[in-house]
Structure 1
């Protein structure tokens, strides 16, 4: 993959100290590449941006109705949550409803992303559990889907498990790619993750935002997933997390999901527009100004939204918390 173009500058004082390169693709729900900066065909691993589409297995298995999952629990199945109390409780609820155990999860354990939740857990002396893993909702959803489909759960992460094959084929059909051309590797949580052209990832989010252009079999499920994520954005991320702030700022308008290694996908729900971003060096700090600039270039005035300002023009601070520079997008024709 090429490094792409300059997307974000990091300054110290008046000087540019670092530059983040990358790619941006903007695609309509009917499949047209509307705009691109860098290489829209660059192959990227979708990482956690894939979660809304992995949740298709949960929705289309009938597990939501069978186990009585709420819209909040569906949102958690699409989440990279912060490990706050409400996230852990909801993941536990999903396991209980489907008759699964925490030991059935195969995502591994890590400290909560949320700093306060992490400190409280360490202070309590309680062991870090798999429920604290940011992917526990996704894994609880996969287990429930496999159970509802009458399939084994001990190997639910295997690339050849029927559920994982279903997810692969669904992504291929919605994204209009040959499933044999999708690179399948292993994500950080152990689940299969797909490598696709950046414009394919943008198309997936365009059709999540406007399922009218997706194959009919997936339309209802995509609609349910998009609304669950936007209406319960606090479950998709957490306190002060970018995706949560973004979707809460634009109710019933934006559905978005960040992924590791500088990936982000989002859809504009009333327009059927998908945007996908890949930061070449994988830097998390460069994702947010890049995404917000792309929205601004689509005519969405994120610069008027105070809650998003810290993400659009992030301050570089020293140890004493004094501002010594900033992080901002430099591509396109407008400034935020």
Structure 2
């Protein structure tokens, strides 16, 4: 089996201190592999990188239009957000439109990653809620779909209508029968696929063909992400900062354990990668490097330099090292 290849080096002084290895695939709109590194048939859990695929039934079922969902809500359905007010206020409003409260969520309470939101809870003596969960936008979409289908409250059950629709869309987009699933951090099923399958799905979203409901759904989700990068992640996050750097022309999405995907409509390409050790900094550097390689991101843009090269600083602000994309990758 092909082994993971070096993607990112961490240097301190003149010493190579650490190295991150992984797998990456670039596919074109026909689903063919344009370029790959490591094992392109590596089976992975996409984690939150596949939220766009999980959101397809929300549009294809007619639920999004029936409930008049905005582009902001579609972006939130694809988001792994920070739990900032711009996220939770919109989630609360969405729940209100559904006649529900956060008690309907199957995702657990999560302390906000947004520092002002976290501090506000502490000052108020309040505990984090389920709306602060980074996946609450996705779950709002699931609840909307469940209500539209007349399904019950257990919308994360693998055998019930919402998750049956999600699995069908996922397998159609990756063009694989998933070998199994795991339970994600938000309690929803997460279906496994190959890195190539994930890249293929992103390429389909970048250049949907054949017209019809699926193509329209892909275009709407990608457009919503590009229009609202602040809702997809949040301030300081790679997804938000890199999408802003590309003027919303490319949609990118991270997933836990160092998965990252990119949807490049102008280039008609899809990218997927997985860092073997689960290191987020390496996944961010690797996706930035591939975005540069394929002409979506300016190599000299401050965000490209930030995520690809560092510098690495200590708590006193002193530069202690730097990152370097490994030779042979990107």
Specify if TM > 0.5.
Answer: yes
Is 1:241 paired with 2:204? no
Q: Which residue of 1 aligns with 2:18?
A: 18
C-alpha RMSD of the superposition: 1.7
1:304 match: secondary structure: coil
* Residues 317 and 323 in structure 1, CA contact (< 8 A), matched pair in contact too: yes
Q: Which residue of 2 aligns with 1:218?
A: 214
Match of 2:309 among 309, 313, 317: 313
Q: Which residue of 2 aligns with 1:144?
A: 144
Change (3 A) 1:217 1:176: farther
Is 1:278 paired with 2:274? yes
Instruction: Provide the C-alpha distance between the structure 1 equivalents of 2:205 and 2:297, rounded to a whole number of angstroms.
Output: 22
Q: Which residue of 2 aligns with 1:157?
A: 156
Instruction: Provide the C-alpha distance between the structure 1 equivalents of 2:326 and 2:212, rounded to a whole number of angstroms.
Output: 39
* Residues 292 and 302 in structure 1, CA contact (< 8 A), matched pair in contact too: no
Moved more, 242-251 or 59-68: 59-68
Match of 1:322 among 315, 318, 321: 318
* Residues 7 and 329 in structure 2, CA contact (< 8 A), matched pair in contact too: no
Q: Which residue of 1 aligns with 2:250?
A: 254
Q: Which residue of 2 aligns with 1:34?
A: 34
Instruction: Provide the C-alpha distance between the structure 2 equivalents of 1:11 and 1:121, rounded to a whole number of angstroms.
Output: 38
Instruction: Provide the C-alpha distance between the structure 2 equivalents of 1:2 and 1:152, rounded to a whole number of angstroms.
Output: 44
Query: How far does residue 2 in structure 1 lie from its aligned partner after superposition?
Result: 6.5
Instruction: Provide the C-alpha distance between the structure 2 equivalents of 1:269 and 1:332, rounded to a whole number of angstroms.
Output: 26
Q: Which residue of 2 aligns with 1:175?
A: 174
* Residues 68 and 97 in structure 1, CA contact (< 8 A), matched pair in contact too: no
* Residues 53 and 173 in structure 2, CA contact (< 8 A), matched pair in contact too: no
Query: How far does residue 188 in structure 1 lie from its aligned partner after superposition?
Result: 0.7
TM-score, normalization by structure 1: 0.94
Query: How far does residue 312 in structure 1 lie from its aligned partner after superposition?
Result: 1.6
Query: How far does residue 216 in structure 1 lie from its aligned partner after superposition?
Result: 4.1
Match of 1:189 among 178, 181, 186: 186
Structure 1 residue runs without a partner (length 5+): none
* Residues 252 and 269 in structure 1, CA contact (< 8 A), matched pair in contact too: no
Instruction: Provide the C-alpha distance between the structure 2 equivalents of 1:327 and 1:246, rounded to a whole number of angstroms.
Output: 17
Runs of 4 or more above 4 Å deviation: none
* Residues 55 and 77 in structure 2, CA contact (< 8 A), matched pair in contact too: yes
1:177-198 Cα distance to aligned partner (Å, 9 max, x none): 23xx342111011001011000
1:233-255 Cα distance to aligned partner (Å, 9 max, x none): 11001112111111122235211
Instruction: Provide the C-alpha distance between the structure 1 equivalents of 2:322 and 2:111, rounded to a whole number of angstroms.
Output: 29
TM-score, normalization by structure 2: 0.95
Change (3 A) 1:333 1:75: closer
* Residues 286 and 327 in structure 1, CA contact (< 8 A), matched pair in contact too: no
Instruction: Provide the C-alpha distance between the structure 2 equivalents of 1:326 and 1:122, rounded to a whole number of angstroms.
Output: 35
Is 1:203 paired with 2:203? no
Instruction: Provide the C-alpha distance between the structure 1 equivalents of 2:300 and 2:315, rounded to a whole number of angstroms.
Output: 30
Instruction: Provide the C-alpha distance between the structure 1 equivalents of 2:67 and 2:329, rounded to a whole number of angstroms.
Output: 49
Instruction: Provide the C-alpha distance between the structure 2 equivalents of 1:188 and 1:333, rounded to a whole number of angstroms.
Output: 30
Moved more, 58-67 or 192-201: 58-67
Where does 1:285-296 land on structure 2 (aligned, <5 Å)? 285-296=281-292
Is 1:228 paired with 2:234? no
Query: How far does residue 120 in structure 1 lie from its aligned partner after superposition?
Result: 2.7
2:205 match: secondary structure: helix
Structure 2 residue runs without a partner (length 5+): none
Q: Which residue of 2 aligns with 1:94?
A: 94
Moved more, 57-66 or 165-174: 57-66
Query: How far does residue 333 in structure 1 lie from its aligned partner after superposition?
Result: 6.7
Change (3 A) 1:331 1:195: farther
